[in-house]
Chain A
Amino acid sequence: MYDYEWDRLRTWLEQYIALDKSITSAQDITRLDLSAKSLKEIPKSIGILSKLLVLNLSNNKLSSLPESMKNLTSLKNLDIRRNNFNVLPECITHLNIGSLNASGNKLENIHLLQSCKELKVLDVSANALGKLDNFMHPDNELRTLNLSSNLIKDMSAFLLHLHHVERLNLSNNLLVKIPEEISYLQFIEEIDFSSNQIEKIDDAFFDLEVEIVNLSDNNLKELHLHSLVSLEELTLDENDFTQLSIEENFAPYLKEFSCDSCSLREFLLPQSKSLELLCYSSNSITTIPQVISRYEKLAYLDIEANSIEDLPDTLANLVYLQTFYVQGNPLCEHAKKVVEVLSPNICDLNMKSGITIELAKVKDLSQMAKLLGVLFTIEKDFTIDFEKQLAGIEALYEQEGTDLLVAKYENSVIGMITMQRLISSAEGGFVGQIEDLVVYEEYRQMGVGSRLINKIRVIAQEHGYKRIQLAADVDNSHALAFYNRRGFNKTNLSIYHYIV
Chain B
Amino acid sequence: MRETQEVLEMQICECGEKNVAQAIEIFQNTSLPFKKAKKLVTGCNKSCCRVALMKLYDMKDFGRYDYDEIAYAIEQRLERLKRLSEGE
Residues of A that sit less than 8 Å from B by CB: 36, 59, 82, 104, 126, 128, 130, 149, 151, 172, 174, 194-195, 216-217, 237-238, 260-261, 279, 282, 304, 325, 356-357, 446-448, 450-451, 454-455, 457-458, 460-461, 486-487
Contact = CB atoms under 8 A, between A and B. Distances in A.
Contacts of B63: 454, 457-458, 460-461, 486-487
A304 B39 CA distance: 13
A237 B35 CA distance: 10
Contacts of A357: 28-29
Interface in B15-65: 28-32, 35-36, 45-47, 50-51, 60-65
Contacts of A451: 28-31
Contact of B31 (A36, A261, A447, A457): A447
Contacts of B47: 194-195, 216-217, 238
Contacts of B28: 357, 451, 454-455, 458
A149 B30 contact: no
The DSSP consensus for interface residues of chain A is loop
Contacts of A238: 45-47
A131 to B, nearest CB: 11
Given A451-B29, A487-B62, A151 B51 contact: no
Nearest to B68: A59
A451 B61 CA distance: 10
A128 B84 CA distance: 11
Given A82-B72, A104-B72, A457-B64, A151 B31 contact: no
A149 B51 contact: yes
A157 B71 CA distance: 34
Contacts of B31: 446-448, 450-451
Contacts of B60: 454
Nearest to A104: B72
Contacts of A487: 61-63
Contacts of A172: 51
Contacts of B50: 195, 217
* Centre residue among B36, B63, B84 by max chain A CB count within 10 A: B63
Given A59-B68, A461-B65, A104 B76 contact: yes
A126 B51 CA distance: 11
20 contacts: A82-B72, A104-B72, A126-B76, A149-B80, A172-B51, A216-B47, A238-B45, A260-B35, A356-B29, A446-B31, A447-B30, A450-B31, A451-B31, A454-B61, A455-B28, A457-B64, A458-B65, A461-B63, A461-B64, A486-B61
